[in-house]
Structure 1
Amino acid sequence: MAVSGKKASKQFSSSTTMASDEDLQIYCQPCDEEGPRLPAHGYCTDCKEHLCKNCFTAHKVSRASKHHILQDATNMPKVLQQPSTSIHTGQSDVLTTPCLKHSKEMIKFYCNDHTKLLCSVCVTLEHQTTSCKVDYIPDISGDIIDSKEYQVILNAVNTTCDKFQQKVEDVKKMTYKSNSSLKDALAEIKKFRQEINQRLDELERQAEDAAKVIEQENNKHLKAVETTCEDITKSLKASSDKIKQLNTSKQADELFMELKLAEKTMKDIEKKAIEFSSYNIKEHNFKANVAILSNLKAEKSFGTLTQRTLNKEALPIQIQSRQSSHEGEICVKTSQDNKKCWITGMSLLTPDLLIITDIDNKAVKMVDTSSQSVFHQLQLDDWPWDITTVTSADLAVTINQKIQFISISSNKLIKKHTVKVDGDCYGISCYQGKFVVSFAEPAKLQILDLNGTIQTTIDGNNIFKHPWYITCNRSSVYVSDKDMKTVTRLNWQGDVLGSYSGMSGPRGMSLSDDGTVFVCDTERNVIEEISGDCSTGNVVLKNLKSPYAVCWCGETKKLYFSGRHGYEKYDNFLHTYKLS
């Protein structure tokens, strides 16, 4: 088996010109590549190589070459031969596919027992020919062109592609059905609320009707009393006038009788007064049916959304293409700045309020995205790197070996307390009262509570070399690594769930409202959107100038990013694009 090396040119030239005694001597070609030079003891007609005694013996034992035809010293060619070439027409015998385990070795063998492609190191360490049936690939690949195996595997590949394409269509249909069912469920919720409102309206009308009946009875009684009292008053007044007249005219007989009649009338009226006083007029108050309110308070939800699995098969999340439009730039350089800006971190509090860190000017700035201006700036004693929102009015900034808390009051940034951490920290992201912080030396992540107490430490090992930026949600933590050139997805326990490696210089990241991740790639001058499972990605903005930090606003569909290009007319601005 021919192996290229430093001495090959000398050996091959000797097949035509042998100018010295050394050139007349034929040496073992495999040993000649690494030294020492040993005289040839035989020749392999398959490999077209001269072999020393040890290589000759090993050649007969190795499973990969034991069927080769060997010639002893008497019958072997007396001049060096050209390196062996493939028996396949137009195909080079030089195998150039590197081994996944041993990157400096090329794949040359195939283990039939384990169905694995191997390099020479794999054969030596794990698939020795005494225990595995190992073949040298050029020896067994001669009939592979247009073979039955070729057709079978090609058909299987095409079938699998068609299957996954169909899966995408199936998932689209099921997603549409799921979203439609949610719309129907929301309509049922509104209908249920209307039914509750209608029942409450009925009960309210019943109470109102009962009150109206009582009111009508009260008014009817009042009318009767008024009429009766008016009649009595008129009668008594008439009797009083007559009595006065009879007394004045000295008509004693008539006066006597009128007085007796008035006396009797007064007794009858007293009975009527007693009858009126016995009528029960009541004051009314409302006593609520507390059972209705208690039942409502006891309920924890308006109802439940029941679920039925449409398909249990999991597929990679597909990224939809987006249309972009340039919305303009926001100048973030202020009169307080002594240097050009280098914006390394961003955090959006509201669609109109963006907070940024300017490391070169040691500042945290409040940016009004509506007026496109900086309206407050907080100077720090050291260089801030990244920033995250803690609450609607509180933020946290990584500064060397500490986390600086900052609050917003009266449209101003105010420094609060600091929390020390055990290393130089870079990226930071907060979710539900927990920080995830990245460290470069050594490479690691830490999950902290708001007091700085370490909850979990995730060592870099083979996961990270220089974790740079972090963003997180309920289920995942995403980390961009500038040296590994990857975006890695982990769960909150530190287990790796996925990794996206199609990048050259990943930097700042921002989560979208549908779970994808926008990532700045400074080396390729693009911003890429990768799926939440890190399986796929699409470039959404290209031909940029070293994009560095990025922030997404889901409400306005705007993407803000900074640059680190080295020119003030570019680095002093935030660049805004609308994506749809």
Structure 2
Amino acid sequence: MEKDMSSRTNEEPLCPICIETLKVPRTLTCLHTFCQHCLSKYIQESDCSLVGKPSFNCPVCCRPTYPPSAESKQPKEWASLFPQNTALLVLLGEQKANVDSLCDPCSSEEHSIIATGFCVECREYLCESCINSHKRIKIAKGHRILTIDEISKSPDIIMNLNVSSSCTIHTDKEIEYFCKDHKTVCCVKCSIIDHRSCSELVDLKTDAKSALEEDPRDVIEMLRRIEEFLMNHMQTNKSNIKRLETQTNEIVSTIKNAREQVNKLFDVIENYVQEKGRQLYKEESIKLNDFNQECQSQLTAVQGSRQSLDAILRLGNETHVFLTARQIKTQLTNYREQIMKKYSAIESKEITLTLHDSLKTLMSLAADQLATVQTKLNVDMLSCDGIFRTPTLDSVMETKCGISGSTPWYTGSVWLSNGSILLINYMNNKCCLYSPENTHLADYTLLNPWDVCFVGGDEVAVTTTNAKKIQFLTCTATITPTRSFTTRYYCDGIAAVSENRLVISGYNDSGNQNYYWSILTTQGKEEYYHEIDQKGESFTYLAVNESKSRLYMSCYYINTVYCFGLDGQVHFVYTNEQLKGPTGIGVDRDNYVYVAGCALNNIHQLLPDGNLIQIITIGIPKLPWSLNFNKRGNRFFPYQWR
């Protein structure tokens, strides 16, 4: 941890979970690699039945991941089922004399046995004993087993071993095809069960090159830019940590100086109070002592007069008594006058201390009121230009309304498998078909059509919101209606989650008027219904990601975008002061999400987790309403409102 972060990132592959050098690296089907221990701990803390069978979401990209042959294993054992990233082991210098190459079957049983070979077909490291057992199994007799020395001497073999060729759904089958419609690889079983109606299924053994939609070198360049961006980001954060340390030291120094100043002030106050108090005591005690001396003199005189009169009464004659009594009586009058004048009241002196209000306030305040230490957030938006794909309009399609004097309002659009485009013209009650060259082919009249989605083959499904109906159309060079069914409530947005399942959205008009979305079969049977605790008649649009695991829903009047799992779980809620009147929503092949902000004339580009990448304002039509992506080429088409 003491190494320089930038140099370490360049030299050592790090685990995205623990941010430490990879140990026993295991690679998922999405090609993200983690320490086996970190991955195992993450899996055990995850919901391992997200889609009804053993699975978990990748910690990095959140894609559903199905462990190979996990049916008979506990989640704590799944991490060991994924192949080791042997290429990284070589990079780490660990793929030498059996270092960290443990036998996978033995490791799953918590036995640490050093591997001596690697089965190419099973993608497992094997010890000598397991190699012998492997060769005795009938189904594995033809498997190719490489020695650790062979792997170490051949980087090409190592790189090839790092690519998983097993189907994630049918683990006993090899990947043979790539479906361009669904952007996914599949085995023979998958091609028959899930992709029999897809328009383009590429045989990877004979034509893998045609399946590539981008030059891998471009992808590498994008990864390099992201890597550079993140490294700069980390370096900035490292500088921030140093700055925070400096600021903390300055704060400690400031409060120490403040304490010294306050201590000096209290020393001055204390010295002043002590000196003044002693001075007042001295002055007042002298006065009181003088007064006591006067009292004592008076007391002595009174006592003398009393004693003289007592003696005369006992020893003197009547004449002496008379004269003495008369004299003392005169003195008594003087004593009475003196008492009335000087001694009729007793003064009680006090020395008091009065503190200034500011000092009282200071002493009454708590420490956190006198001094506050807190963080202040300053946000500097970083430019992501050149890192993420920014869609641009590469062509402009001119459309004309067939009704004289009427302006079209395209509320929905869809790309068909042959490259044609179907536009939904709500204002003129038309479904308009255009060729890949933007030539108008056909129209179909439908009352209040709103949104549309591709179902499969040449078929689309259109929502007719006011009629509460889903209309299916076959689009070739013409538009032909096929079937339809009604919905319980008003329906706006629509998207396909499989060949025979749709998801629609709108608002519940039965009383509470909450927004909702529901999953239905293409025959109209409702399988799942979900309400959002937000009310109001509003335009809503839907989109699903490439793996059909997440649903995105925009709600116009509440300026909000929701992301749900198909089980109703809320993954995120996106709002932004620059997002007003969200309408069309789409997902590209990288799973970036795009939302048309009609009211402020922009488009918001989001990461799959809902974090904002950028707000696009250049190169889009005025008041963008509907948008979608061409599955083949990732072409992005927003359509202008009216």
Does the pair score TM above 0.5?
A: no
Taking CA–CA contacts closer than 8 Å with sequence separation of 6 or more, which of the two structures ends up with the larger relative contact order? 1
TM-score (normalised: structure 2): 0.39
TM-score (normalised: structure 1): 0.43
